[in-house]
Amino acid sequence: MQATYGGLTELQVAILQDFFRFGFDGSGADNFFDAGSCIDGRLTSAWNWCSSLPHKPFYIAFQLTGNTSFDGQFQE
């Protein structure tokens, strides 16, 4: 993490930047009118971001902490 991101703070910033860039972009909606036009559209975008997490470059950080999902359960 140190070599790739420069430290924990930089990793946190990279994750947050990615989430705020793609977590509310209307992705996952059926059409332009539903995409981000209401809270449902934004929740769909946030869900879509979470489902794409395994393809993100920082996914290893989530694995190292034991996070397997966002439902509050952690791997023992």
Contacts of residue 61, defined as CB under 8 A and 6 or more positions apart, other chains included, come to: 1, 11, 15
Judged by phi (left if over 0) then psi (alpha if -120 to 50, else beta), residue 26 lies in: left
What ranges do the domains of the chain cover?
2-64
Rounded to whole angstroms, the Cα distance separating 36 from 64 reads 32
User: Are the C-beta atoms of 51 and 44 separated by less than 8 Å?
Assistant: no
- pLDDT tens digit at each of 76 positions of the chain: 889 899 999 999 999 999 999 887 777 666 666 655 556 656 677 888 888 999 999 999 999 988 877 776 655 5
Question: pTM score > 0.85 for this model?
Answer: no
Can you tell me which residue has the tokens 């966002």?
Answer: 70
